[in-house]
Structure formats: C-alpha cells, structure tokens
Amino acid sequence: MKKKIAAGIATVVAGLSLVGCSSNADVVSENISKAADNFEVARRIVFIDTMTNEYMLVIEGRCNISVDGDGGGQLEVTCRTPGGDKKHFLGLNHTATYFVEQVSPVTVSQDHYKVWFKPSVIIPDVDAK
C-alpha cells in the first residue's frame, strides 16, 4: 500500500515539474496570442487565390482570427475599429488560403503569463425591477 502511495506521489511530482518546463518562446507565443485576442496586436491578414496567385482580400488592423475547428473551412476575423467592432466570416477551400502577418512588434513578458478576466463572466448580469 505504501509503495502505491509513494508511486502516486512521485507521478504527481513528476507531472508538476514538467508543467514548469515550457520555454521562454512558448510563454512569449502564448502571451502574444492572448494580446491579439484582446485586440492589442496590429495584423495584416491576406487572402490569396492559389489558382491565380493574386490577393483576393486584405484586412489590416487590430484583429483576432479564429479558424473553424469542425472542418467547415471558415475563418472568422474580428477587428476593433474606432466606431466599434466588426466581424468577418471568410470561406476557405482548396483554391483559397490566407496569411497573417503581425505588422508591428508588441512587448510581452517572457517570464510571466497574462490572465484576463472578462467581467461579464465573473459578475452575473442581474436586472433589478
């Protein structure tokens, strides 16, 4: 019984030690992704027709991208503008592809993760009558 407990504790300690083994590049990459999710990163998104090798569409600004995970071939681009947020849905197929360029550098920590709390999730929306 003691051997099973010791083996369990050793497994947990080994697993926890691996959590801290991410490289600085992994932390920076994650922090840039989080900054982009919060519209802090200027991007240029270019859609290319692979048959003609010509640009079909270019979107520039503080944009977040999300690829449809169910294989539907859809890219969602949400951009923050001075007049409000805009969301674009773009279909992808075997003749259309896209490229995302980070237009300007951003400063993120290589040592610490950022965590953002969305107030509407933490504090419930209550209507008082």
- List, for residues 46-56, the tens digit of each pLDDT value: 888 888 888 88
pTM passes above 0.85? no
From the list 56, 47, 26, the residue with the least C-alpha distance to 100 is: 47
Show the tokens assigned to 24. 């600085």
Show the tokens assigned to 11. 């497994």
Separation of alpha carbons 92 and 54, rounded Å: 15
Residue 39 has pLDDT above 80, yes or no: yes
Separation of alpha carbons 65 and 129, rounded Å: 39
pLDDT band at 86 (very low <50, low <70, confident <90, very high): very high
pLDDT band at 10 (very low <50, low <70, confident <90, very high): very low
Segments making up each domain of the chain, as ranges:
1-37, 39-103
Whether residue 115 contacts residue 102, with contact meaning beta carbons closer than 8 Å, is answered with no
Task: Using CA atoms of 115, 40, 33, 15 in order, give the dihedral in degrees to the nearest 10.
Answer: -20
Residue 72 has pLDDT above 60, yes or no: yes
